Structure 1
């Protein structure tokens, strides 16, 4: 079954249509497992689309397909009018300044042997920005992500997890992209740091107009960050709509289960929700 949920009109920045991805198991004769089953979604300029689902639902595979990190069986991925699926590597690299990524783990996403300044300057220099201008832009982005200017001369190991993720955000936004794939960007951080990083992402979006594909298993985080939300279950988009509606009054039983399972501050209410979620799964 094909599931299409892209915005109508000509203002779509990213359009994913009838996307199918499968992986072969271990061994030459192992069967292929279909991970994405006709997925469709779309993102407008300056918009955040939250993509939420449990582990193994296929949400990270969508982001990786958009970035060209996994092969696509069929369907299409169109970004700023250009077809990404099947695009040759050299041409895809040319799109690098417009399409960036923030990975989940700030501890492994930065080269430990390179200074922060070199890490941030590298993509700028690769795009032909002169060294003096690159240094100035590095300083500007360190300021934007609220890191001191002397951070440029330091190595990643000298920073906390939250600070490293700020460096990763600065690296992703240094080229002034039109879209950033945020792959569980705060799940490795403590709650206080999560809140600060999410606020930073929202602030930078307001300043730059960048669009986000925000991938997460956490419905509360997705609600906070997103204009619209797509819910993925077993490789299919089961519900898409405005974030307030989908996360408060969902239509699909799976989304309701996610909502009931989301943590709340009240312990008694949290236990009640877990019991309601268990009952919902049993009824399904």
Structure 2
């Protein structure tokens, strides 16, 4: 359950939403996507409250807000050709088959995949490549906001960095906004302009990414930061001791 959440995201901005499992991050993301109803309060997009939209306006909202899910192995149909995966949202929003098919090459190029990838099945690609396909699908109909729900957590560290850099590059070119949901403050720091920290359905801290990840004011945020793994074993020991001391205080 969420309590008194108040957040804003501007065009071309990334808001990182971070917290441990069960903190309410995914519930908030689903509410923004309209997948779960809000029992109170309101969600506004471009000045309109989404719960008040008529059917035609809801269809436009579905075009403006897209999602990249966590697991690229289950979010893409393995039995579909990549071309069909990418044309499906275009056809659903009124584009002709010819126009939709013509757009596939540009979408694949935009996410760093060869154009002949369209003639292959999603199951033939690695996890990082599949997530690039998922990003291309989200971009297909020109959204203004993309909800990235743990979009790189299933990837290895090198692939994570490459996908994050891709998302940053796309944002610079298109001014799309991201709600970037993650449990990893290191990942959030890499991509976000601002960070909101969730704990038990509440936002406990909101500030610039640099401030939250280097000088947090909330005790829970400090615990998250100290729990993040680092390559230096001596620093890892120091963090573990500091976290134990913080938990005991």
Query: Taking structure 1 as the reference length, what is the TM-score of the superposition?
Result: 0.85
**Cα separation, 1, equivalents of 2:52 and 2:185:** 32
Matched, 1:195 2:161: yes
Q: Any unmatched runs of 5+ in structure 1? A: 1-34
SS of the equivalent of 1:146 reads coil
> What is the number of residues matched between the two proteins?
249
- 1:262 aligns with 228
Matched, 1:280 2:235: no
Superposed CA deviations along residues 246-279 of structure 1, whole A, max 9, x for unmatched, are 1111111111111111111101111210121121
Question: CA 1:146/1:76 → structure 2, altered by over 3 Å: closer, same or farther?
Answer: same
**Cα separation, 2, equivalents of 1:97 and 1:278:** 46
Where is the helix percentage greater, Structure 1 or Structure 2? 2
- 2:174 aligns with 208
**Cα separation, 1, equivalents of 2:248 and 2:147:** 35
- 2:134 aligns with 168
SS of the equivalent of 1:40 reads coil
- 2:69 aligns with 103
Distance apart, 1:87 and its partner CA: 4.7
SS of the equivalent of 2:5 reads strand
From 53, 57, 60, give the equivalent of 2:26. Answer: 60
- 1:145 aligns with 111
Where is the strand percentage greater, Structure 1 or Structure 2? 1
From 8, 24, 36, give the equivalent of 2:2. Answer: 36
Moved more, 83-92 or 97-106: 83-92
Distance apart, 1:93 and its partner CA: 2.7
**Cα separation, 1, equivalents of 2:73 and 2:138:** 16
**Cα separation, 1, equivalents of 2:127 and 2:3:** 35
Q: Cα RMSD (Å) of the superposition? A: 1.3
From 36, 51, 70, give the equivalent of 1:70. Answer: 36
Question: CA 1:40/1:94 → structure 2, altered by over 3 Å: closer, same or farther?
Answer: same
From 97, 104, 118, give the equivalent of 1:131. Answer: 97
SS of the equivalent of 1:231 reads strand
Query: Is the Cα–Cα contact under 8 Å of residues 193 and 208 in structure 2 kept in the other structure?
Result: yes
**Cα separation, 1, equivalents of 2:209 and 2:51:** 28
Q: Any unmatched runs of 5+ in structure 2? A: none
Query: Is the Cα–Cα contact under 8 Å of residues 79 and 123 in structure 2 kept in the other structure?
Result: no
Distance apart, 1:167 and its partner CA: 0.2
- 2:83 aligns with 117
Query: Taking structure 2 as the reference length, what is the TM-score of the superposition?
Result: 0.96
Superposed CA deviations along residues 34-77 of structure 1, whole A, max 9, x for unmatched, are x2111111100110000000111001110001011112110110
- 1:8 aligns with none
Runs ≥4 residues deviating over 3 A: 85-91
Query: Is the Cα–Cα contact under 8 Å of residues 205 and 217 in structure 2 kept in the other structure?
Result: yes
